[in-house]
Amino acid sequence: MPMKEIVCKLLVIGAGPGGYICAIRAGQLGVDTVIVEAVKAGGTCLNIGCIPSKALIHAAEEFEKVSHMAGNGGPLGITVEAPKLDLAKTVAWKDGIVGRLNSGVLGLLRKAKVKIVHGKATFRDGKTVEVETETGTQVIRAETVVIATGSEPVELPFLPFGGPVISSTEALSLKTVPKKLVVVGGGYIGLELGTAFAKMGSEVTVVEAMQQILPQYDAELVRPVAKRLGELGIRVLTGAKAKGLSEEGLALLIETAEGEEQRLPADKILVTVGRKPRTEGWGLDELDLDRSGKFVRIDDRCRTSMRGIHAIGDITGEPMLAHRAMAQGEMVAEIVAGKKRTWDKRCIPAVCFTDPEIVTAGLSPDEARAQGYEIRVGQFPFNANGRAMTMLSEDGFVRIVARADSNLVLGVQAVGAGVSELSSAFALAIEMGARLEDIAATIHAHPTRSEGFQEAALKALGHALHI
């Protein structure tokens, strides 16, 4: 017997960070909302992305600290016995966090009176979606549809996922630490996970086709990360191309920058060469929405080329970041509720949870110059910061980029332990239209790493106090 059709004002496809925020906000505003999710609430971010990876990175970091102390005692005067790691237990702990957040998201959706439908959605037409649920096909008709289907890891044709070749998803649920791990792709995902496994005891090799790891950042920002990779014994091969699996024994064949064939023995091969928008399998071709490259094309209200259909999140392009999707989702919900909104954000901060962490907000010096700005740049190293010294991690710096004529802050970058938490200050400064003087004249609490932000502004103004 066919199920009764659901008719609603707003249908959100995909309950990742973009989709669930959109549905919650719409629900809060009294919009009759349905959300469809094929896997689990929270999407990539919560289930197989940001959250679980940070859990694993934290556990690895703690383990490495203790291992370090056990090795030579270290300067802190602490001695411990050699620690042991039970990865299965770590993963179970991580799964517990994910589970808590899953039910948290579902609870928030219910509290906002959003109807949740579990199953895979396929477009029948621009207003109608069919969902394959456990109990049969559910047809949903909506005035407005929001596509928030997200993205998935890119697969290399000559290294298909399966067996020893894994994506970030499998890497987050390994039961044992691989003895030898080869990471293909030296972007932020590969380095975050590669570093974590190195800290847990894996022998890690990173293969990157470009001349630099983390190619989206400038060399200065990457340098402390590269240095730390070396300290952790991670082998980095830049300009090297993965070729495929070796015939005998488990190994990855590569061609080095010098053109030599090399064989890298591995227990696991982690492929992290990027993510692609999930545009297949849900009837996008039926809709014939305009594309922008691989992505769905949107305007400044996240509208697609078809009336009544919005798209948010990774499916709409770079940067593929959860917080961008969330802001888009919130905006679209408000538009659907009849409010006037357009995308007018000044910056989308980005954090790379390597060791040390990298934060960027707004324009880098090169980007600012490329856009024709005359700029002044101020940089403050953490080795002149008291708090950094007390935490045994003095690598890195804060860098601020401002217009030379008005001192308007165009961008802020930082690399260093724990700098991810400074991202809010950087983004706030840019959104508020702060000038160097505003930051320089704000009292920053002592002793914290945030003083580096104030000092960088002072440096740009020509009167840094601590260097």
Partner 1 sequence: MGEFIIKMPDVGEGVAEAELVEWHCKVGDPVREDMVLAAVMTDKATVEIPSPVTGTVLWLGAEIGDTVAVKAPLVRIQVAGEGGEAAAVPMAETVTIETIEQPVEKVASPPPVEIKKSVQVAPVARAATQTPAERPLASPAVRLRAQEGGIDLRQVTGTGPAGRITHDDLDQFLARGAQPSILPVGLARKTTVEEIKVTGLRRRISEKMVLATSRIPHITYVEEIDVTDLEDLRATMNASRKPDQAKLTILPFLMRALVKTVGEQPGVNATFDDDAGIISRHGAVHIGIATQTPAGLTVPVVRHAEARGIWDCATEVVRLAEAARTGTALREELSGSTITITSLGAMGGIATTPIINHPEVAIVGVNKIMTRPVWDGSQFIPRKMMNLSSSFDHRVVDGWDAATFVQRIKALLETPALIFIES
Q: Site residues (CB under 8 A) for partner 1?
A: 290, 339-342, 344, 346, 371-373, 403, 406-408, 410, 431-433, 435, 437-438
Determine the Cα–Cα distance for residues 461 and 440; give it in Å rounded to an integer.
9
Going through 1-85 in order, the beta strands assigned E by DSSP cover: 6-13, 33-37
**Burial group, residue 84, by CB count within 10 angstroms (0-12, 13-18, 19+):** exposed
Closest CB 433 distance from partner 1, rounded Å: 4
Closest CB 386 distance from partner 1, rounded Å: 30
DSSP state of 2: P
Q: Which long-range contacts (CB under 8 A, 24 or more apart) does 252-257 make?
A: 252/159, 252/182, 252/184, 252/207, 254/207, 257/211
Sorted by sequence, the CB contacts under 8 Å of residue 433 that are 6+ apart come out as 346, 408
Question: How far is C-alpha 241 from the geometric centre of its chain's CA atoms?
Answer: 24
Catalytic site residue from 323, 446, 463, 466:
446
Closest CB 24 distance from partner 1, rounded Å: 19
Q: Which CB atom, from 63 or from 373, has the smaller least distance to partner 1?
A: 373
User: Crossing angle, helix 219-231 and helix 188-199, to 10 degrees?
Assistant: 20
Q: Assess whether the previous peptide bond of 447 is cis (omega < 30° from 0).
A: yes
Q: Which CB atom, from 51 or from 434, has the smaller least distance to partner 1?
A: 434
Q: Name the one residue in this structure whose structure tokens are 């007018």.
A: 344
Closest CB 371 distance from partner 1, rounded Å: 6
Sorted by sequence, the CB contacts under 8 Å of residue 132 that are 6+ apart come out as 119, 120, 122
Closest CB 289 distance from partner 1, rounded Å: 13
Helix (H) or strand (E) holding 108: helix 87-111
446 is catalytic: yes
What does R_g of the chain's alpha carbons equal in angstroms?
24
Closest CB 305 distance from partner 1, rounded Å: 10
In this structure, the chain runs to a length of 467
Q: Which CB atom, from 122 or from 305, has the smaller least distance to partner 1?
A: 305
Tokens of 210: 């470009």
- State the catalytic residues: 446
